[in-house]
Amino acid sequence: MAQLVLLPGKERQLARHHPWIFAAAVDRLEGRPRAGDTVEVVAANGRPLAKAGWSPESKIRARVWTFDTQEIVDDAFFKRRVQAAVERRLLLPELCEQEGLRLLHGESDGLPGVIADRYGDTVVLQLTAAGADKWRPALVRALQRATGCARIYERSDSDVRRLEGLLPVAGWLLGEASPTPLSIVENDVRMRVDIVAGHKTGFYLDQRDNRLLTRVLASGRRTLNCFCYSGGFSLQALAGGASEVLSIDSSGPALATAAENLALNPQLDASRAEWREADVFNELRLLKGRGERFDLIILDPPKFAPSAAHAERAAHAYRDINVFGFRLLSPGGLLMSYSCSGGISREHFQEIVADAAISAGREARILRRLTAPADHPVRLNFSEGEYLKGLLCQAD
């Protein structure tokens, strides 16, 4: 096994079991591993520290599989890790009956670069690191054994793979497409899941609990849902008794899917829903110019800052969208504002929203901090895993 030798003092992060080894921490590589091969990580004095997946083209040169230097990284290793992750979720009553569930959440489940989401009897696998990519067959076998799923589809087509020197990959790994469209029931609302062309693995499972909170808050409120995608927040607001729901997105196909999702739920009053195709920033300006007001506003924009390098530009976009949100909010109204950008910290996001409230001339308070549900855990020593952050605010 090749050895990755760290510079003196660079073993401190590993001592805290942080799983990333950056290029700046590496002294030298002894051996000739290929991308994705497992390497032994050693301190400058030769002391073994961990075993990791080698990523020669990434700034993160290696991602730790195990801090047990005696553990062998093989098929059996992935079988154990996958089984343990699935079983942890089954121990939580709130997750046991979910038709849509994240089974594997990367570093937080001890599987860097591995995401797996289950939709009914179909699992969608996403591999974003060279080490994960190398162990694809073992991961497929482990997932099939742990879940008994009939189908596994790969959606390894995210931009981050380019940073690893990997090409996008998508297609069936086990089984084939179901003859009927794939859908799940989430909090009594049925939603279509497009695992082939939809965002992420087909659906935003990380907003499940926040959609349910929207349902609780929406009763009697005029609601605005920005960047609505397939209508998850909108349908939960309707289910909660919103007086009306205006949903805006720039994607016509996404809005068509949202309308189809509404049609799948005849118990919801479709006359209270309006789907509007428009640039969200421009449309909010128009709504403000017409003097419109809303009692509940959801701002769930796309990832403006994929990394810290994009944070400054992203901060302006987040600030602008929240200024509009506060200006359109009725007195006593509620704003649910989110960021899924890993490059924006929770503290920075709060500062951005606070500045937006001041710019809008509003006094606001945080009622609740919002995050991902329990099937998206955050490892205590890996704060980078907490990518989704949100605030529920009330404005005077």
3-state helix, strand, coil in the chain (%, to 5): 35, 30, 35
Give the separation between CA 350 and CA 292, rounded to whole angstroms.
26
The secondary structure of 127-192 as a DSSP string is E-SHHHHHTHHHHHHHHHHHH--SEEEEEE--THHHHTT---EEEEEES---SS--EEEETTEEEE
Query: Which member of 149, 226, 340, 393 is catalytic?
Result: 340
Burial category of 264 from C-beta neighbours within 10 Å (exposed 0-12, middle 13-18, buried 19 and up): middle
Q: Amino acid identity, residue 345?
A: S
CB-based contact 108:385 (threshold 8 Å) = yes
* Tokens linked to 256: 């068509």
Angle at 16 between CA 11 and CA 22, to 5 degrees: 50
Give the separation between CA 137 and CA 121, rounded to whole angstroms.
19
The secondary structure of 291-354 as a DSSP string is T--EEEEEE----S-SSGGGHHHHHHHHHHHHHHHHHHEEEEEEEEEEE--TTS-HHHHHHHHH
Tell me the three state secondary structure of residue 68. Answer: coil
- HSE on the CB side for 232, CA within 13 Å? 25
Give the torsion sign (CA, 337, 338, 339, 345).
Answer: positive
Tell me the three state secondary structure of residue 5. Answer: strand
Give the separation between CA 36 and CA 390, rounded to whole angstroms.
35
Is 393 noted as a catalytic residue in this protein? no
Element (H, E) at 211: helix 208-217
Catalytic residues: 340
